[in-house]
Amino acid sequence: MPSRSSLANIGHGKKLLDAGFQTLWNSGYAAAGVRDIVAAADARPGSFTNHFASKEAFAGEVLDRYFAYVSGLVEAALAQDGTPPIGRLRRYLDVITSKLEAHDWARGCMIGNLSLETAVHSEPLRLQLVAIFERWRQPFAACIAEGQATGDITRAFEAEDLADFLLSSWQGAMLRMKVERSPAPLERFKKIIFSTVFAKETTP
């Protein structure tokens, strides 16, 4: 059984992660200083280095936590509950749209935000993001392949490529959303993709 001091240590680390999760999401990687994270966690000065080797390592743990959260949303939205694959893909995008609306179209996706900020400056975070995108697209590829098997989604492209296109294009739409502070880019993207790429396949 962990000692009381060990449990306290774990608790302090969780408080820092909780605070850092919000700080990185709201302020971005460059603007979020270690002092800001420690202050937001109401932790003692110096406590950060007791838990994390660097701000880079800390951001890596925050990314893992965020991707676990996103993976839960993906699993729920794409669950095989009788809804056709195209409907499940739309359900995921609609769920994300509602969460973006809750933050007035200003916050976006942490994975996309950190990809823009850190990929050039941090090789460990860049490689972590590569692995995240690879894992992220897998359930979408499986859903798309299911739709291709029934003729509901075009078979002109591999399911993995379509899944990658979906995620990459959605990230771009969210970037425009943040610039415009409007859901218009998201709705435009959904309208076009479900009228073209994810429209029911027709035979000549």
User: 102 with 186, same domain?
Assistant: yes
User: 76 with 152, same domain?
Assistant: yes
User: 141 with 152, same domain?
Assistant: yes
CB contact set of 187 (below 8 Å; sequence gap of 6+): 97
Alpha-carbon distance of 166 to 153, in angstroms, equals 13
User: 89 with 138, same domain?
Assistant: yes
Confidence of residue 202 (pLDDT cuts 50, 70, 90): low
Q: Is residue 124 in a domain?
A: yes
CATH number at residue 72: 1.10.357.10
Last residue of a domain, one of 9, 36, 52: 52
User: 58 with 149, same domain?
Assistant: yes
Model confidence at 185: pLDDT above 50: yes
What's this model's pTM, rounded to 2 decimal places? 0.88
Count of structural domains within the chain: 2
Q: Domain residues for 183?
A: 54-193
Alpha-carbon distance of 130 to 152, in angstroms, equals 30
Interval 64-99: pLDDT, tens: 999 999 999 999 999 999 999 999 999 999 999 999
Q: Is residue 145 in a domain?
A: yes
What average pLDDT does range 188-195 have in this prediction?
96
With CA atoms as reference, report the closest residue to 144 among 95, 94, 74: 74
Interval 97-156: pLDDT, tens: 999 999 999 999 999 999 999 989 999 999 999 999 999 999 999 999 999 999 999 999
Most confident of 34-38, 54-58, 119-123, 173-177: 173-177
Tell me the chain's radius of gyration from C-alpha atoms.
20
CATH number at residue 32: 1.10.10
